Structure 1
Amino acid sequence: MTSTDAELEALLDRIPVLQGRPRTVTDLPGGLTNRNLHVTTPERDVVVRVYRGDPDLLGIDRDAECDNSRAAAAAGVGPGVVDHLPDLGVLVIDYLSGRTLTNADFADPGILARVAAACRQLHDGPRFTGDFDMLARQARYLATVRERGFPLFARYTDFLEPFERVKAALGARPRPTVPCNNDLLAANFVDDGAKIWVIDYEYSGNNDPCFELGNTATECDLDGDQVEALVTAYFGRRTRHELARVRLQSLVSEYGWALWGAIQAAASPIEADFHTWGESRFEKAATTFTSPLFERLLEEIGRDD
């Protein structure tokens, strides 16, 4: 943070845990819908998450984010919540000392196993406020794009019919929902050397655990063997129907989040290449829709093994 950030300094002065205390402030990387600040005082280290963007447009519930951050902390896998100041657009959480993962880290089988364990710990914890269903969210995002006349990726609507087939296949054998982060890119895992923590709960909600794994697989660019290793570590066994479900949920993630990119590209004041971000997700989805793998996954999800 630079010395010209007078407005931000004034905001920090309004946060009780920081008032009247000497502090150092460092911007943390990432955070397209938050500005994340590492703030150190003589008493403690915290992260101040300053909200930005249109939460209604993107389907973000900031109160649920706070509730679910507390639940994840109670599960022992998320940082503690220090304060929530919705009038200021701020969530304050404990700072975790460790390193954020990168996609390259998933080449290590040990990391895959520890990530699976972290997901299980989160999923076994207290229920979250609200549900998250990318199948329904995709429809809402698409409606937003159409109603507002936002540009859409070429060929996106070509796959609406096969997407309905994915919905039907997933709905034929529904799974109980569990508390999920739903946005586990590599940087949302923090490794402190002893355990892996899960951070950032703005899209959290109770969901199919296979979406969590499938979303992680695609966001972290896991190859086929790595996806299988992650799924096997999570379930403690390898079955074709669970692996197929995770891979289909990867497809759901790609097809749905692509629209998030389209909305942000058209509406966000933030300087970022949201179009390329969204298009890359769509192209991943299109590749699966048009490959022989697609029909095989639809068949295998109905198996008992």
Structure 2
Amino acid sequence: MSKIVDTAIAKARALPCWATVTPTIEQLGGGITNINLKVQDGERAYVVRFGEDIPEHGVMRFNELAISQAAAATGISPGVHHVEPGVLVLDFVEAPALDGPDLHDADTLIEATKLIRRTHDEVTQALRGPVLTFWVFHVLRDYAGFLRQNGSAHVAKLDALKAEASALERAVGPVSLVLGHNDLLPANILRGADQLWLIDWEYGGFNSPLFDLGGLATNCELPAEAERLMLKTYFGTDPDPGLMRSYGAMKCASLLRETMWSMVSEITSDIDFDYAAYTQDNLARYRQAHSEYHS
């Protein structure tokens, strides 16, 4: 176990929110931004998420807390148990995370899409206080600036990627704003006994619905027929050519954001994860999607 995890466990044990003197603590898998722990406190279990603000990624913990509370109030996410600077304690739900192939099942995809629609409709209404906007094209411009300023190994790629991003932004066109999750990895969707749960709101913010839909599709490598099913489920009608053009552009932007997120993380992150390999994988997937979009 790494020194970082050992330190996190010691901090978790010292939190003032436990009913028992010696709660059982173990590291949870997943997560390439934060350290996540499971705490068994008597009969109840919790997740402790450690994470400071990450300005280079637009992650601000006041924002994560506000959205976590709103999502919990709507029954979409587990409840918030305790908060202090750099620490968020949530109710633990006994629910395995989905993986990409799970979303290739039509019933599961429909259920997940309905969860996304509920998020956009209900969490948007439940929010209180200041909340960030997540506009992927601003994020991409900011990432490019950060990478230049910090001497990234990927600087030579940035001019071309920025030009492509600008063209994609024009192709997306006008948008409707909803509260988006903005990090729809299948691992952030949990299958409970009687519902799906959506977790991890650190990138949450107002955005186009198409970003979450495109992100889900790319992260799960959905085939074209599954994408159409997802869009029909979300919008209640078959997607027309205009929607498909906007959606396709946002899907490309989602992959480019994941690529440049990883480029930045190569420089900044202390988490034990192979960001360089993750960058190359996502860059290849972005280039493939971008080529198909323009074919």
Aligned residue for 1:225? 225
Deviation of the 1:5 alpha carbon: 6.7
Supply the AA of the counterpart residue of 1:24: T
Aligned to 1:301: none
Q: Counterpart of 2:258? A: 257
Which moved further from structure 2: 208-217 or 223-232? 223-232
Amino acid at match of 1:74: A
CA distance in 2, matches of 1:57, 1:253: 17
Q: Which TM-score applies when normalising by structure 2? A: 0.91
Offset of residue 44 of structure 1: 1.6
The SS at the match of 1:49 is strand
Q: Is the aligned partner of 1:104 residue 2:105?
A: no
Aligned equivalents of 2:183, 2:102: Cα separation in 1:
18
After superposition, give the CA deviation of every residue in 1:90-113 in whole Å (9 maximum; x if it has no partner): 100111111110111112100000
Deviation at 1:154, TM superposition (A): 6.1
1:302 is matched with none
Give the 3-state SS of the residue equivalent to 2:190 in structure 1.
strand
Q: Supply the distance in 2 between the matched residues of 1:6 and 1:290 (Cα, whole angstroms).
A: 45
Where does residue 239 of structure 1 map in the other structure?
A: 239
- Write the distance in 2 (CA, Å) between the matches of 1:247 and 1:2: 41
Q: Determine if contact 1:261/1:279 at 8 Å carries over to the other structure.
A: no
The CA RMSD over aligned residues, in Å, is 2.2
For residues 4-43 of structure 1, give each alpha carbon's deviation from its aligned partner in whole angstroms, at most 9, with x where no partner exists: 9764443124322226433211211111111111111114
- Find the aligned partners of 1:254 and 1:4 in 2 and give their Cα distance: 30
Counterpart residue number, 1:146: 148
Question: Aligned partner of 1:105: which letter?
Answer: D
User: CA 1:289 to 1:107, structure 2 compared with 1: closer, same or farther past 3 Å?
Assistant: closer
Distance 1:47 1:37 in 2: 6
Q: Which residue of 1 aligns with 2:74?
A: 75
Amino acid at match of 1:92: V
Q: Which residue identity lines up with residue 151 of structure 1 in the other structure?
A: A
Report the equivalent of 1:17: 17
Query: Is the partner of 1:290 in helix, strand or coil?
Result: helix
Residue 56 of structure 2 aligns to which amino acid in structure 1? L
Alignment partner, residue 28 of structure 1: 28
The equivalent of 2:41 in structure 1 is 41
What does 1:186-225 align with in structure 2 at a 5 Å threshold?
186-225=186-225
Q: Quote the Cα distance in structure 1 between the aligned partners of 2:47 and 2:209.
A: 28
Structure 1 residues 41 and 2 mapped into 2: Cα distance closer, same or farther (>3 Å)? farther
Checking the alignment, whether the CA contact within 8 Å between 1:74 and 1:125 is kept in structure 2 is: no
The change in CA–CA distance for 1:130 and 1:159 in structure 2 (over 3 A counts) is closer
Of 135, 141, 153, the residue aligned with 2:137 is: 135
State the Cα distance separating 1:182 from its structure 2 match: 0.3
Say whether the 8 Å CA contact 1:75–1:124 is kept in structure 2: no
* Offset of residue 78 of structure 1: 0.9
Counterpart-to-counterpart distance in 2, 1:84 and 1:290 = 45
Moved more, 266-275 or 135-144: 266-275
Query: 1:15 aligns to what SS in structure 2?
Result: coil
Note the residue ranges of structure 1 that are not aligned, 5 or more in a row. Answer: 296-305
Alpha-carbon separation, structure 2, partners of 1:235 and 1:200: 25
Tell me, yes or no, if the aligned pair for 2:72 and 2:79 is still in contact at 8 Å: yes
Q: How far apart, in 2, do the equivalents of 1:2 and 1:279 lie?
A: 26
Tell me the equivalent position of 1:182: 182
CA distance in 2, matches of 1:5, 1:253: 30
Matched to 2:188, the amino acid is: N
Structure 2: which amino acid aligns with 1:223? P
Following the alignment from structure 2 to structure 1, what is the Cα–Cα distance between the partners of residues 106 and 184? 18
Q: 1:252 to 1:235 in 2, by over 3 A?
A: same
Task: Figure out how many residues of one structure are paired with residues of the other and give that number.
Answer: 289
2:168 counterpart of 1:169: no
1:101-142 Cα deviation digits (max 9, x unpaired): 011111210000000011011111143511111110000011
Q: One-letter code of the match for 1:166?
A: L
The match for 1:290 is 291
- 1:138 aligned partner, one-letter code: L
- Is 1:114 the counterpart of 2:111 in the alignment? yes
TM superposition shift of 1:49? 0.4
- Bigger drift between 134-143 and 146-155 goes to 146-155
Residue of structure 1 equivalent to 2:281: 280
Question: Against the structure 1 CA distance between its residues 258 and 153, is the aligned structure 2 distance closer, same or farther, given a 3 Å change threshold?
Answer: farther
Does the aligned pair in 2 maintain the 1:76–1:121 contact within 8 Å? no
Match of 1:266 in 2: 267
